[in-house]
Amino acid sequence: MIILGIDPGFATVGFGVVEAAGGRARMVTCGAITTPAGDPLPARLLQIDTDMTQLLETFRPQAMAVEELFFNNNITTGISVAQARGVILTAAQRQTVPIFEYSPSQVKQAVVGYGKAEKRQVMEMTRRLLNLKAVPRPDDAADALAIALCHARSSTSRLSALDPATPGTGRYAVRR
């Protein structure tokens, strides 16, 4: 299964493509979509959409795993990230790629085995699980790989007996 992991952002969108089979995973590629700080909001959102569409068409993932939005104290940044996240989800929906969303603690639990793990622990376990020489850079790309690994591990659990009723809605129906 080819999984596209996404760490949503506005200035930087981390992505990681993982191939998972038989309880093992390998990194196909990772990187970041960046948007110029001086560009207006609509231009930046269009850049994210264009690059996401290219990623989806190039790698043809069977699933896209996206980290749920986490708001910190800066609501203005959160709104921009939410808009970018909407563009990311729309691009996947347009390509009919099933979307799976995970909270930061779910990602930590799946990768490290502890839902309150520190970022450095998640990055190191991601490196080890993918048998990489170094932690991928930028951090957003490493985070995206961890999100893809989270889905790879979750999709082989009992959760795999569930199918999305409507891709991207978070509602599930039991497979018959």
Residue 112 CB neighbours (<10 A):
19
User: What's the CA gap between 10 and 59, in Å, rounded?
Assistant: 22
Which tokens belong to 19? 């191939």
What are the Cα distances from residue 71, in Å, to 34, 64, 74, 108?
Answer: 20, 21, 7, 17
Tell me which H or E stretch contains 124: helix 119-129
What are the Cα distances from residue 121, in Å, to 20, 109, 113, 114, 131?
Answer: 21, 11, 10, 10, 15
Catalytic amino acids? 7, 67, 140
The answer to whether 88 and 13 have CB atoms below 8 angstroms apart is yes
